[in-house]
Structure 1
């Protein structure tokens, strides 16, 4: 035993020794260090026979175990706690309200327990007895429960009167009795003002007891004197939110001697009365709510179904549900949940039953979109809310639906338009990129091709078969590069073809004759060409390019073995979708179809195959520009591309071009001029911002005998024209240059010298308006890369030859 603890305990002996409450102290092992006189009386032993002993030495095992358990909890949690504990006194067991708190040593550690306990046996017995009485009357009929409670209350407390009063709704200072017993009989209920009675000190406040002379405290209450009442006690009634709802009171012609016991009894009765009043109010609110629910249910513009949450069966439906789904009331109650689902996963009966079960389990509302089927088989979209509710006291599942078919269609249309916009923006951005690359490459190719042509001319003077073959191969490669640039420009819409009326069937036949050698013999070609199909307005070379690209792709898709199907026919499109621009396609068209029986096209490839440089072929097997060029050419002709793949083996590209209305003459393609052999005489101002192109062009002109002044930009050329405009026989200039464009330089030259011939070359000549060219005095416009033969012919028209 801790002697230091005993020393501290001894200091409190004089303080607690004669206190009426039981006071004690124990060390950490449960041995008593101090007990007061009340504890000695409890145990029937002197302190000397208690100190140093444990509960197990002094009390029966069950009591000792309970004491030790409570002590351990106080020391473990290191805080004061209250307990109802039982102790043996003679042959009886008494109940004590014990307050136990931890004792601390000098180091702040818990070293024991202090306890103070009061005997509450009588009060405890009263509460138990009265609680049993309250439970007994709880089985009384609902119409008489308040009367019976007042009779029990008056009987137990031995009073002459007992009443239960409820505050009138909207009149918080007025009370109506709902149960009253007096002088051995039930009394008629009545109303009274709180201000004139003792109840005014109780309602919304606390328990009050006027043990005697109550009339003196409330002289204006005439009933007190008339009935000869001496005492009054009242207990406030409140609802679950703590708001006052009434009072329970007793009155007697004798004084009330035990106010504490009266309060305990009335507290128990008050709990029962409050519960009954709340129950009745809830029932009344439920009746009002159900009436309101029915009115709302019938008038709602949303379709509402009431389901059995266990089986999913439809128990009720409002008029809107019947009209929206096309059923009569009796019919809709008989249909299964499956009949109201579209049947397309996940909108199936099985999924509907799963959602009903999920809503039942969670108890929380579920909100989702649902695809339903009406009685007539039509499909509609609904916004659906599933929510559990109590209806007529039974758990039910409410399904509230609102049709959103129009909204879904609008959203789908918006998504299609957004996708079209994104696709258009992407293709436009890629087109600008391709156009920029083509412009730069054009400048490089102008020099390469030009020098190759010069080399060929020089080689012809001293023939060398091997060198001749090398140079022809180089020129062929340059021409292929030129064609690639034109494809890029076609995609970016920087270069347009020369459209003329075409018969697609005849064009396909002519193209096949040229194309057949590039296709393996293991590829069978099947054609279905309608010669009576309407004429279209398109560039023949570009359409041949489209056909070639599609046929090559078909060949590769079949790995060189299969059937290639070509067709030309008039068609009427209904709700088709363009695979490259994603716009809807409707109306009359002439269709050029290319089909194969290869492996089809994967979904991820379908989404990207019209992008430039995108290819599923290996390195060295295609530039990735084929379908991008097809996209540019077809849409330049106001056409569309429909791709069919997946439903059957292979794939089918359908080029849809608008038919030409009215008569038009075929435009003959200009013949390619031959390489120049004569020489030219004159002085030319040559302008280009690219050094390579400028150097080649100057050398080419000098090779033809022309005197050249080369300027590396429009600004330096403008200064030459300002000072020496009469010194030149022609102006040959690039168009796109920083500082001053070729067209702006031509305008300046035209002002300074109107008769000066201006020749303009550009990689994008179709963007130059003819009216502006004429106003600036431009005599000829050439495409880049500049073809030497065409350049010679254009210069020969304005310079001396010989």
Structure 2
């Protein structure tokens, strides 16, 4: 020191007498000279700092000090307020705040020779201010939360991020165990679950019971930790921690833990923050629990906590109110004993599946009341983190079920009313049309009788034709009724729709007349359809007639075919339609079109827009029934004044098209074969018997199955059984089954005017069986019988 310049001696004498921390950085290297107050600030760095160069003495802030030296040795000053730096005063990083004033020290020549710094550490004040803002914000957030789990989760996240901790959690303490529902982690694994308090060791547990924060800076060197406890904490990636114990009425109920993966020197401010947060979270949890308890008591839903073994540990008062069981009865019996026997297995299975997947689930079952009744309960259950228990919320569905039953009864009554109204409309329409047709039949027959009696034979044929026309009209009405009701006998076969349309073009041209232009747009790669070709022809003709009537002044009618693949989204809009591949047959006209209200009614029976006396109103309803019975669909697109498009969707047939062409032949006769006719209608039985006798067959008559069975089970020759399907007692199909037991190769012809189970032939007929629909022509009956008898049933 004897060789020091006087300016250095004067500055040193000044700083040594000061009570505030002062450090002098001398020369270009910034050799450090400081007083006792600064040595306290330097912490573990003293006394090694004394005489060291400042950039090397504080390497973690070397850039900051380099700037100080550059500025002040140039003659300027620097002033900082609450300046934040991270220093390693005690071997670990530490955030500190300081007021710093830097000034140059001048030599005898008046030039800067060093720098003097007067500092005041403001860490505690700044930390207190920041802690206050943090706690205020945290309290505001906690007030908005209603469950202890959410409160714990938010608190752990906020303080973990604020302190830069590795793990933070709030644990509930009960029965010597610590339960962690949620935790904040950064770079370490989660410890959610149950843990024994014995792992802490007796010394640390004693420290917890004091009630003050337990601060550990290094788990490997803290004397309060046993070697086992130290090793256990290290294995969980804990190097240091601050624990705040929470008490209620002298009982240890909770623990707020802030952990660091490596050893850490916790500042007093950090320790205070953790303690204050712990108190706030305790208050928030108590508030949430009080609210939860209030809701628990007031809730009308059944609330419970139960384990996977089969017992409940807590139930709310709603159980007793809804079911009549006392709390003691509910908690001392297995919960499965309260379930309906049919509901117990699926309920236990759902709970077991939840235990395995750890995901909430919902189900419905019936729970016994104390008076012996059953109540429908809808349950929502969710697992607890401990893997042993779950919570359940049950809603009593009794009133909802009763309302649902009342609604179903009301809907059924409405449907019945609508059904009776529709039946009245249907029967009225049928009576009107049939009376007109029967007038033609009865009147024609009466005139035939009068003319024959009077010997006037010249006009008999005219009356026969009139009666036959009326009868044919009646048969057509019956066919349309069956089509509407989806009870007609469909012969679903592979059909080339393009060929069908082409074959009908001449007929359509004649039907439409000269004022209407007919165009066909047929797809080249059209799929084959599965449908009844005869019914499809009738439907197409009917659609074209409707289109013609909608264009009284002429226009254009377009028939188109195309392929379509309908996906699930399209099918969802039409519950009766299945997704899949369809052949579309479209008929488009340029006529008057229809309103939306008319479109909604066009498929109703007897609804028609035509004048009274023109049409039965069964045309579109017949087509609708045919399309639905075929497994297809029908759509109408129309606007007033813009024309109408009707699209028939027919199921695609996977296979090759085969065209059967039957040559025209004379009415075939029999060769003495014996035919049994079973028909309960005397007129039909008489006609069929007469036809058989005239054609050279032997006929055996039976009125029903009970009359026919003894004959069929005898040794009497029967080559063909002709039976009505709708017989009284055993029906025709059942009679055929009995007949085939004793005559396995017996050929059978069903005749039907209506058959609930014979709507689609392919699902009704076995080999050696055929079907005809009433009414039928005599030559058609003769041809069908000859075809059957001429074929080997084992080849059919």
TM-score range, shorter chain: 0.3 to 0.5
Max Rg structure? 1
